[in-house]
Amino acid sequence: MKSQWKKYKQNKLAQGIFLLIYIGITSLSLFMAQRSVTAFLLLLSSLLLLYFTNFKNLTKWLIAGIVLVFLLPFTASNGDAYQSYMEVATLVGIYISMALGLNIVVGMTGLLDLGFIAFFAVGAYTYGIFATAQAANFMPFGSFPLSGESFWIFILIGCFVAAIFGLLLGIPVLRVKGDYLAIVTLGFGEIIRIIFNNLDRPLNITNGAMGIASVTPPRLFGIDFLYPSQFYYIVLVILLFTIFTVRRFEHSKIGRSWKAVRENEIAAQAMGVPLVRTKLMAFAIGASFSGMMGVVFAAKQAFVDPTSFTLLESITILVMVILGGMGSVPGVILGAAVMTILNLQVLTEVTNWLNQLNSTGVFSIPDALSPSKMQRLIFGLLLILFALYRPKGLLPAKNHVYNEKELQEGCTKDNGDNLKSIPEHSQIEKAQEV
Amino acid sequence: MSILEVQNLTKKFGGITANQDVSMTVEKNSITAVIGPNGAGKTTFFNMITGVYQPTTGMILLENEKLIGLKPHEVSKKGIARTFQNIRLFSEMSVLENVLVGMHTHIKAGLVGILFNLPAIRKEEKASEVKAYQLLEYVGLAPLLNEKACNLSYGAQRRLEIARALAAKPKVLLLDEPAAGMNPKETNELTQLIKRIRHEYNLTVILIEHDMKLVMEISEHIVVLDHGEKIAEGKPEDIRNNPKVIEAYLGTGAVQAG
- Residue A352, pLDDT score: 77
Whether residue B146 and residue A404 make contact (CB cut-off 8 A), yes or no, is yes
Specify the number of domains making up chain B.
2
- Residue A422, pLDDT score: 43
- Residue A95, pLDDT score: 93
Whether residue B130 and residue A410 make contact (CB cut-off 8 A), yes or no, is yes
**Residue range of the domain that includes B193:** 1-79+170-258
- For the segment A25-30, the average pLDDT, to the nearest whole number, is 76
Starting at the edge strand found earlier in the chain, the sheet holding B172-176 runs B80-82, B172-176, B204-208, B31-35, B221-226, B229-234
Residue A56 pLDDT exceeds 90: no
Q: How far is B61 from chain A (nearest CA, A)?
A: 18
Q: Taking Cα atoms as reference points, which of A252, A257, A264 lies closest to residue A278?
A: A257
- Residue A289, pLDDT score: 92
Residue A101 pLDDT exceeds 70: yes
Q: Residues B175, B66: one domain?
A: yes
Q: How far is CA A11 from CA A6, A101, A280, A308, in A?
A: 9, 35, 45, 47
- Residue A204, pLDDT score: 78
Q: Residues B178, B69: one domain?
A: yes
Evaluate whether residue B236 is within a structural domain: yes
Chain A residues touching B90 at Cβ < 8 A? 259-260, 263-264, 267-268
Query: How do the domains of chain A map onto residue ranges?
Result: 1-80, 101-325, 406-433
β-strands B2-13, A219-220 pairing: unpaired
Q: Under 8 Å CB-to-CB from A407, ≥6 apart: which residues?
A: B129, B130, B133, B145
B118, B147, B169: which is the final residue of a domain? B169
Q: Is B207 in a helix, a strand, or coil?
A: strand
Evaluate whether residue B84 is within a structural domain: no
Which CATH number belongs to the domain containing residue B219 in this structure? 3.40.50.300
β-strands A212-213, A303-304 pairing: antiparallel
Q: Which range in A76-85, A144-153, A216-225, A281-290 is most confidently predicted, on average pLDDT?
A: A281-290
Summarised one tens digit per residue, pLDDT across range B38-95 is 888 889 999 999 999 999 999 998 888 888 889 999 999 989 999 998 889 999 999 9
Q: DSSP letters of A304-322? A: E-GGGG-HHHHHHHHHHHH
Which residue type occupies A96? I
Nearest to A272 among B73, B111, B115 (CB): B73
B153, B169, B185: which is the final residue of a domain? B169
Nearest to A402 among B105, B129, B143 (CB): B129
Angle at A290 between CA A289 and CA A293, to 5 degrees: 90
Q: What is the dihedral of CA B99, A178, A104, B166, to 10 degrees?
A: -10
B151, B169, B187: which is the final residue of a domain? B169
H-helix or E-strand spanning residue B225: strand B221-226
Q: How far is CA B8 from CA A332, B55, B60, in A?
A: 53, 10, 9
Q: Which residue has the higher pLDDT, A214 or B258?
A: A214
- Residue A294, pLDDT score: 92
The reported pTM is 0.86
* Cα separation, A326 vs A396, whole angstroms: 7
Whether residue B114 and residue A400 make contact (CB cut-off 8 A), yes or no, is no
* Cα separation, A375 vs A346, whole angstroms: 11
- Residue A431, pLDDT score: 41
Q: How far is A275 from chain B (nearest CA, A)?
A: 8
Evaluate whether residue B190 is within a structural domain: yes
Q: Residues B219, B114: one domain?
A: no
Residue ranges in chain B whose pLDDT is less than 50: 258
Write phi, then psi, for A144 (nearest 5 degrees).
Answer: -125, 155
Nearest to A253 among B50, B89, B107 (CB): B107
Q: Which residue has the higher pLDDT, A434 or A329?
A: A329
Residue A425 pLDDT exceeds 70: no
- Residue A83, pLDDT score: 80
Query: Is the link from the previous residue into A145 a cis peptide, with omega within 30 of 0?
Result: yes
- Residue A162, pLDDT score: 93
Q: Which residues lie across from A61 on neighbouring strands?
A: none
Whether residue B114 and residue A408 make contact (CB cut-off 8 A), yes or no, is no
Number of DSSP helices (H) and strands (E) in chain A, helices first: 19, 4
- Residue A415, pLDDT score: 52
Q: Residues B63, B176: one domain?
A: yes
Q: Residues B176, B186: one domain?
A: yes
Q: Which range in A142-156, A220-234, B194-208 is most confidently predicted, on average pLDDT?
A: B194-208
Range in A61-75, A191-205, B124-138 the model is least confident about: A61-75
- For the segment A98-127, the average pLDDT, to the nearest whole number, is 91
Q: Residues B143, B178: one domain?
A: no
Whether residue A271 and residue B115 make contact (CB cut-off 8 A), yes or no, is no
* Cα separation, A256 vs B128, whole angstroms: 13
Q: Taking Cα atoms as reference points, which of B194, B187, B192 lies closest to residue B155?
A: B187
β-strands A223-224, B80-82 pairing: unpaired
Residue A424 pLDDT exceeds 70: no
E-strand stretches of A190-298: 212-213, 219-220, 223-224
Q: Residues B70, B184: one domain?
A: yes
Q: Residues B242, B191: one domain?
A: yes
Report residue A163's pLDDT band, with 50, 70 and 90 as the boundaries.
very high
Give the best residue of A271, A288, A424, A434 to mutate against chain B (max B CB count within 10 A): A271
